[in-house]
Structure formats: C-alpha cells, structure tokens
Amino acid sequence: MVRAKMGALALTALMGLGAAGSMKVFAENDVQNVSAINFAKQEMVAATTDNSDGVMSYRDKESGKSFVSEDNGVTWVPEEDYENSHLVINYEWWTYDEYKAWREQEKKNLQEMADEHTMAENSEGSFEWTQEMTDRCLAEYEQTLEDIKNGLLVSKSVNGDDECMATFNLDWDGSTAD
C-alpha cells in the first residue's frame, strides 16, 4: 500500500473508531462483527488528507496484514480484496530527454501542417490547421518540458491509451510514491 501523509481529522476519526465498540470487517466476502480493535496492535501505513474521499488503511502488527477502508473507517477489507476490486492503472512516464526529442519532432510536424493548410477532423467536424494552432501547441509543449525538468511526472499514456495523459508531482500535498 502506498504510504501517505495523514490529516489530523483522519487520524482522529480512525482512533475514535477503535474506542467506539464494534466495527464491520470484510474477509473473503463474509461480513463479520468484530469487537473493538486494539490499536496498539496496528500500524497506520496510509491514510488520507482532510479533504479526501475517505480512503485509508492500516497494517495489523501481529498478522502483518493490511486492511483498507473507503468510508472513513466504517468498514474494512483486506488489502488484497481492495486491490482486486479496483482497476490498476499503468502509466508510462516521459523522461525529460524523451519528451524533448518528441517535442522537436512535433515542431516539424505541426509546422508542416500549418504551412500546407492541412485539413484535420475532430468530433465537431473538419477544420484547417493554422499557424496560431501550431504556436499554441508548441507553447504548451514548452511548458510541459519545463514542468518535467522541475519534477512533474507526465504520462505518455494511461493503460496504453496515448490519447489520455496524467500528471503527478511528489510535492503535491498528501501524495507519495511506492
């Protein structure tokens, strides 16, 4: 599970659950009532920031198993069940040099399109590729290259779809890497 910074509210809510009595735990599709968990036997390994959607996890120190909650600690499932029920997204990240080389080729391609008044299509119909469009794209590419240089991760694709793009920065609040 990814380690993350924990907001004070998430910690307070989780600690309150341990003192509150019983909670529901899902294990192998069976719902069980379990008496209050002794939090001395747990190690918080990931949680969310105060403005999260409620996803958090803990690792039981005795068993070494991790559990995940998507509802601010009301219910818990084994980490394996959580991972099996959620799509794993695979990213391929640009390196600075790769993106720079790609940008150089795109400069040539886009300029050629503008010079030849290439007709292009999108969901709204056909249009002529213009110099203004080329300039706007190249300015965006320059900014992206600078962002990559400054540590932003920019994906080449998301799950193999090169029409999708994702960005990630290790400095964003509440984020960490594996």
SS3 assignment, position 4: coil
* The amino acid at 30: D
Is pTM beyond 0.75 here? Answer: no
Identify the band that residue 172 occupies on the pLDDT scale cut at 50, 70 and 90.
Answer: low
Identify the band that residue 142 occupies on the pLDDT scale cut at 50, 70 and 90.
Answer: very high
- Which token pair is 40? 């001395």
* The amino acid at 177: A
The reply to whether 70 and 138 lie within a common domain is: no
Rounded to whole angstroms, the Cα distance separating 63 from 28 reads 16
Query: Within a domain: residue 3?
Result: no
Given a cut of 70, whether residue 43 has pLDDT beyond it is: no
55 or 22, higher pLDDT: 55
The reply to whether 98 and 158 lie within a common domain is: yes
Query: Quick one: DSSP state of residue 104?
Result: H
Query: Within a domain: residue 68?
Result: yes
Rounded to whole angstroms, the Cα distance separating 138 from 145 reads 10
Query: Within a domain: residue 174?
Result: no
54 or 5, higher pLDDT: 54
Q: Which residues contact 144 (CB under 8 A, 6 or more apart)?
A: 99, 103, 154
Q: State the residue for tokens 């747990």.
A: 42
Rounded to whole angstroms, the Cα distance separating 45 from 22 reads 22
* The amino acid at 138: L
Which residue segment(s) compose the domain that 30 sits in? 8-84
Least confident span in 19-28, 53-62, 83-92:
19-28
